[in-house]
Each structure stands twice: as structure tokens, then as C-alpha cells.
Amino acid sequence: MTDLRIADVRVTPIAFYDPPLLNNAGCHQPFALRSIIEVETEDGVIGLGESYGTKDVLAGLAALAPAMRGLAVTDLNGLWFRTAKALPDAPTRLTLRVGGAIEVAMWDALGKATNQRVVDLLGGPVRETVPFSAYLFYKFARHAGANEDDPWGEVLSPEQLVGEAQRMVDEYGFDAIKLKAGVLEPEAEIAGLEALRAAFPDAPLRIDPNGGWHVHTTLNLLPRLEGLVEYLEDPTVGIAGNAVIQAATDVPLATNMYVVEPSHLPPNMAQDAFRVILSDHHYWGGLKASRDLSEICRIWGLGLSMHSNSHMGISLAAMAHLAAATPNLTYDCDTHYPWQTDEVIEGGKLKVQGGALKLPEGPGLGVTLDRDALARLHGNFRALDYDVRDDLSEMHKHWPDWKYGRPKF
Amino acid sequence: MTDLRIADVRVTPIAFYDPPLLNNAGCHQPFALRSIIEVETEDGVIGLGESYGTKDVLAGLAALAPAMRGLAVTDLNGLWFRTAKALPDAPTRLTLRVGGAIEVAMWDALGKATNQRVVDLLGGPVRETVPFSAYLFYKFARHAGANEDDPWGEVLSPEQLVGEAQRMVDEYGFDAIKLKAGVLEPEAEIAGLEALRAAFPDAPLRIDPNGGWHVHTTLNLLPRLEGLVEYLEDPTVGIAGNAVIQAATDVPLATNMYVVEPSHLPPNMAQDAFRVILSDHHYWGGLKASRDLSEICRIWGLGLSMHSNSHMGISLAAMAHLAAATPNLTYDCDTHYPWQTDEVIEGGKLKVQGGALKLPEGPGLGVTLDRDALARLHGNFRALDYDVRDDLSEMHKHWPDWKYGRPKF
């Protein structure tokens, strides 16, 4: 009998290059912070996870990791008891991130130890390829102080946006297109969407102002958005504010900001605010909690898709296995993956083709660590002079007068 | 690598002696009908399940069983696709019963094939012993036409009820006590409860009229029930009717009648009708769906316990593994098990001691089939002249003037 007990949990913070992408909070910093989690069983099987690499999550993982020894990798109840015990004063938000990071590695270890894929452990595959969407950002041509433009160049106008989309669709074959908004004046962003519609007549479009619009602004914009987008993501702040908007339109509202942990579900259902949940196993509490969320969406008749942050291939593989085991995935998933140039897994970047990722082959998540790459990316992390994400300060290097506001417009 | 694909699914209907227990629908027939499910993998591992043995469920199982061949025992998504395909016109109620019956056997097979207990596969044990409650019934001394009284004798008065409770508590050590009601006039049944309170001052009490009381009757009875019961189960009919009662009292309302499949959850939450769900993997769609239900109860702040029908040890083991993996089991589970004298598993009846069942040892559910007993109980089934449950006709053999009503009083 395989010994499924955990012998060791290792966490390695990494940093990888990220382009100067814009959003309602500011501008992405030159390096994105992540953590790579290894759960090693008594038999030497190593399960992998990937999560946030910011200071609070790393501190939480450091507290929880030694407490995981001796637990079976199947024991998710035990994981959450130990997480609560290791982080007695942490907010739910952090508890879910820390426990969820290790949970994914437990599934991977179980799969690798028993020669089963994670998709099988999560209930079986309903698809072998998972559809993703093009994720467009406004962006600067280069990071502040950089010597040359990145390959994507500046994207601030509708024409540049169409160019970015064309390149991304050509390269990856995406069907749906999402625009990260809340950056420019709403009129300018909707002009960008309309330019995308003209260039891609059949593409399902989405826009995500990240809570950057006032309720009255959004209500005024609805006539232009209806018929243009398949969903409207987090137009304004909070469940109550978005409920006002949802009551005024048939365009479904989606969220990855205001229904982000289980306790947000009851008020969302009671107020009929968001009709699409963009799940994310990194903050929802791992793969099991995300499967639970998908069942809740099915029962309550909500749409379901998947949110993304800047990430490597371990996260992409986990998202794909989860999505492949989820019957009611009603929209193509988001991913930042095309924006990343580096990779921490053996074989380099996973191939997104025809707008979809085929599940990596092999047991567990189907990916293994490239330890040279891990060491290099960990070196990046150690060389950085920041350990939290701060889009606002980064934005001020480009646009000193930029004002943060949520809602802003 | 173990071959987890299903080679064969066998279903054996059985019948076992059941006492003349009374409820709002009438009287239990002399034999209860069940089905024993065997899921055999390509490697010859046999997983067990137990479910209803009535005509509709048996027909559904007969349609689904051959369609299960080739599916991996991990593939719950595949199970539900095949169930829907095999039973295209079945109501959800039946689909969940049929698929759920096989689902349990799939978990048992997976556990036995990989040397893991079902509780481990369901998320890990939060308890190794599962608390059950004493389940009291009004009853006749003997079945119509029988030659002698059964060992429990007649129970129709408060004194007889206390005697039944004393015997059951003495024998099994139960803490909580539940009274199946909706049989006699409500005043008489509450007098029974009050006699139980006097005889068992510290026992958590429950009463279940099975929807037999009118709203106004229940509202009038509330002052006597408050402070007397830990929950009030299905006092009247339907979600809306019970919501009127819940709005009038702090005693939580529980249900196993009106929130019995996923689609009933949203209206229940919206109307704040029932605050305790009595889950039952036999009708809820199996163990995974029941774990999902427990998460939903946790998120929405509902209490959770477990409903029971007349059953054998396979069902009891499945209930126990499920309850052992469920952190938020807020009340002791129901079980009819003390009323059963027969058994279909090796080693005879599982031992309930100190009001609790220790999880059976060994992989999977920890129980194996006694094939001689199975053959004998199958013989019972074949010898019967009924294939559906009909408490009303049985009642008329005793009390010809009995009128069915829901609500009745």
C-alpha cells in the first residue's frame, strides 16, 4: 500500500517577467510574484501547486507547511483544520488562499501516487480540451526605465487594441475576447469594444472594468453594451450596486471581485446581483471547493467561468483539470498565460492551440518541475526590491497624476 | 495499475421483515423492499450499494446497470450522463435514486481497489464514530393476520412510548430521541413527547409529523413545542407552508420531505422555510451529492442531519462514512436500524453502542456481502405479492376507517 502521508511541504517564491498591463488599480510591475508548492509524500511522490507569491500568502504558507506533516494527501478536512489552527487570526480571504495552495498539490500527489489524473479524481472528464479566451489589456510599450519596447508595444487606442487582439487570436486561436477595462474613460473603452466587434464579428466579447464605473455611468452605458457583450464583469462596486445594474439589463453580470468566497454566495443569490461566477481555485480554497462552487452555480442556475491572474503552467494545468471535470462551464476560461514568457515546468510553456488547452498527459496534473527554471525564477524573486503587488505605485511611474478610484468613472 | 473500469453491475432485490410501524401515510408492510447493488471492476473488485427496492427504482437500475460497463469507478460525471441517457423520461426524483444507488457502490469499489476507506475518499474523517438517535414509532403489536405479537408490542399511548424509548436507549445508548408523528391527534402526540421529556430529562427530542399538521394547528402547538424539541420536522406541507411556521418560531424546522433534491434548495433559502436539512444519500444522488449538500448547508448556515428509511448494514455503513467525512453534522443521525432483525452483510448486524456506530474496519465501506443471506432475502422478495410500498392499504387492514391526509390534523 502506498503511503499517502505527507513527509514534507516546500514553498519556493518565484518572480517572472510581466508586461506593463493596465487595469483599474494601475499597472503591472515588471515581475509578477508567485509561489511554487511541493507536497512530498512518505513514498517520495511530489505533488505540485502554484499560488500567489505576495508577502501575506508566503507567511501563511510558511506557517502551515510544517503543520501538514503526517496528514494523508486525501485528508482535505484535515487540511482545513490545520490551516485554521496554523493561521488562527487570518481573515477568511487569506485562509482560503493558503489552504487552497496546498490543496492543489495534495491532489497532484494523490494522482501521481495512484496513477490517476486530477481530472479523474475530481469526478471524471467531461472534456479533454479546455477553451480559453483572449485576455486583452491596455498597456504601455515598456516598463518605466526599460531600454526598449516589449513585443506587444503600446496599446491605448482602439486600433492598437484590435492589433493586440489580432496577434493573440492568430497565435492561440482564441474564440472569445475579453477586455480588461476601468482604465480609460468608459466611452473610450466601449469604442475599443466596438472596434473589436467590427474586426471580429463573431467573437463573444466581454469587458471587465473591475468595479471602476459608477452605477449611473453603467446604467447609461447599458444600451451600448447590450448586444455587444456576452457578459459584463464587475462594472461597479459591491453586490448591492451591481444588483441595481443586473435588475436593469438582460446582459448577465459576472464577477471575480465580489463573490470570491463561500460567504458571499447567499447575499448574491438573495439580491440577484451576479449571474455568472468567475471561479478561481487560488482564492476559492482549491479544487474541491471550486467543484463545490460549480455545483452551487448549477443548482442556482448561474453561469460559470474561470478567472485568472499572471501565472505559470502549474496553475494552468490545475485550471484545465478543474474545468475538464466541470460539466457546467458555460463560458471560455480567462488566462493571462499568453502574457507570460517564462515557465517553471519541464518542457516549457504548455501549448494553447485552437483557443484551447489539451489536458497535459500523465498522472496528477501532468506537469513536473524544471528545477533549473525554479532556481532561476527564485533568483528573480530574491533580487526584487518589493514583496507585495503594488499596481498603483507602478502606474505613477508612467502617469504621475493617475488617481485610483473604485468606482472612478 | 489497477483497472478501475466497471465490468458488471448486478442488482438483487431483497425483502426483510419490518415491524408494523405507523406514520402519517399508514403502516409499514411486513416486509421492506430494498436493492443490493454490486459494481464489479475489470480486476474483480466488488463495490456494494444498497437502495430502495420498489418497482420504479428496480426498473431504473435494470436500465442503467448494463450501460455502466466500461466506465471508471471514479467517473461520477460519466455516471450522471449515462443515468440521464438510460432514463431519458424519468423524473429527477427517480434519476437521483437510481444513479445514487450505483454511485455508492462505485465509491466502495474505488476504496477496495485502492485500499482506502470511503471516508478518506470523501475528504477524510472528522470523527471515527457517528452518533445516531433513537427513532420511536407508534406501532401495532403485530402485523395483520400474524399469530403473535412482535417483541416491541403495541405502542399507542404515552406510557407505551416511554417503554419503547427506554428499551431502545438501554439497548443502544442513544442520546437524542425522535418521534415519528402525524399518526394520532397532535395533542396526543405532544402528550407523548412530554412523557418522553419527563422520563428523559436531558435527551434532545424531535418530532416528525410528516406534513400531517395544518399551518394553523402547528401555530397553535408552537408554545408547547418551544423548549421541548431541538427541531420540528416537516410539521406541514410544502416550503411555503413551513416558511409561515418558521417565521413564527425560533425552533428550527427540519425537512426530509420538501427539500429533497438540489432544485429545492434555492426556494428554501429564498423563503427561509427549513433551517435543518435531513440529508439522505439514497435520494439526494449519492455520497458526493450529499457532501455537496453539506457544504451548501455550511455556507448558508443551515443545520444538517441525516434521514433514514428501513435499511440494512450497507446503507448504515455508507451513512456512517458520509457522516464521518462531514464536519458540519449538527444533529445525531436518524436510523431505522434497531427495527431491523435481518442482515445482508457478513458478520451480521453492525453494533451501535453508546448511541454511535464506529466506522466498520477495512477499505471501502468496510462491509462485505453474506451471499447466503442475500439469497435468502432475495427469496423473501420473490415470495411477496407486492412490489411497491403501500402503507395505506396496510393500515386499512388494522383500522379500516383510517383516512389519509397531508395535512390531516
Read off the pLDDT of each residue in B314-324 and give the average, rounded to a whole number.
98
B249 close to B222: Cβ distance less than 8 angstroms: yes
- For position B2, what pLDDT does the model report? 80
CA A361, CA A366: separation in Å to the nearest integer? 5
Residue in chain B lying closest to A110 (CA):
B121
Helix pair angle (B287-300, A287-300), 10° resolution: 80
B214 touches chain A (CB under 8 A): no
CA A47, CA A105: separation in Å to the nearest integer? 5
Q: Is the model's pLDDT at A301 over the cut of 70?
A: yes
State how far residue A334 is from chain B, nearest Cα, in angstroms: 23
Q: Which domains does chain B have, with CATH numbers?
A: 6-116+371-384 (3.30.390.10), 120-358 (3.20.20.120)
Read off the pLDDT of each residue in A71-99 and give the average, rounded to a whole number.
98
CA A147, CA A186: separation in Å to the nearest integer? 32
Give the contacts of A397 (CB within 8 A, at least 6 positions apart).
A27, A144, A145
Tell me if B123 and A75 make a contact (CB, 8 A cut-off): yes
C-alpha cell at B207: 418530532
CA B138, CA B375: separation in Å to the nearest integer? 32
A295 touches chain B (CB under 8 A): yes
Among this protein's residues, is B178 annotated catalytic?
A: no
- Compare CB distances from B1 to A115, A126, A269 and report the shortest one's residue: A115
Residue in chain B lying closest to A124 (CA):
B75
Per-residue pLDDT tens digits for A8-61: 999 999 999 999 999 999 999 999 999 999 999 999 999 999 999 999 999 999
Tell me if A123 and B288 make a contact (CB, 8 A cut-off): yes
Tell me if A123 and B295 make a contact (CB, 8 A cut-off): no
Per-residue pLDDT tens digits for B50-83: 999 999 999 999 999 999 999 999 999 999 999 9
CA A332, CA A323: separation in Å to the nearest integer? 10
Note the ipTM here. 0.97
| Summary mean pLDDT of chain A | 98
Residue in chain A lying closest to B115 (CA):
A1
Say which DSSP state A137 is in: E
Count residue pairs from A and B with Cβ separation < 8 A: 81
Per-residue pLDDT tens digits for A139-177: 999 999 999 999 999 999 999 999 999 999 999 999 999
A72 touches chain B (CB under 8 A): yes
Per-residue pLDDT tens digits for A318-376: 999 999 999 999 999 999 999 999 999 999 999 999 999 999 999 999 999 999 999 99
Tell me if A123 and B298 make a contact (CB, 8 A cut-off): no
Q: Strands of A216-287 (E only): list them.
A: 231-233, 253-255, 276-279
Q: What is the pTM of this model?
A: 0.97
B321 touches chain A (CB under 8 A): no
3-state secondary structure A268-335: HHHHCCCCEEEECHHHHCCHHHHHHHHHHHHHHCCEEEECCCCCCHHHHHHHHHHHHCCCCCCCCECC
First to last CA, chain B: 61
Tell me if B327 and A262 make a contact (CB, 8 A cut-off): no
